[in-house]
Structure 1
């Protein structure tokens, strides 16, 4: 009995994951300017939460650094470009 329940649960999860990956992904960039005391962690995290981006924040911070050309510590006045991906 337990094996049947686990198998049914696994099948349902597999179907849901397959369906989720077929949904279109909307990609866009959010432009913001760093203020005094801002960190990439907080800026990126706030944008991801607001827009509904469920990726790993470390991945998004990496790409944010790349496209924003941020080499070291974030400074007030830096323009930050945050790449967002949202499944519809």
Structure 2
């Protein structure tokens, strides 16, 4: 049983090292908020379409920072969404 657990642990470590070493594309997607849009909706939609698998709350935090959004999202606000995609 210990050998099986050790082999599983080793396989997980190899997979994590492989995943960490893959190149990453970082870029920003610019969008404009429309009536009724929320950051959750905008950021989640862009992340899904671009293939970003990070936690949406983390990306919303950075979106607020780089877009200078302090309160609620208003129609016409320019929203800059940082995207990170592993190749």
TM-score by length of 1: 0.94
How many residue pairs were aligned? Answer: 87
Q: What is the SS of the residue equivalent to 2:34? A: coil
Q: Once the two structures are superposed, what CA deviation does each residue of 1:10-58 show, in whole Å capped at 9, x if it has no partner?
A: 1111100001111111000001111111110111111111111111111
Structure 1 stretches lacking a partner, 5+ long: none
Name the structure 1 match of 2:81.
Answer: 82
Name the structure 2 match of 1:69.
Answer: 68
Name the structure 2 match of 1:13.
Answer: 12
Q: What is the SS of the residue equivalent to 1:81? A: strand
Deviation at 1:84, TM superposition (A): 0.3
Name the structure 1 match of 2:30.
Answer: 31
Partner Cα separation in structure 2 for residue 74 and residue 59 of structure 1? 17
Q: What is the SS of the residue equivalent to 2:60? A: helix
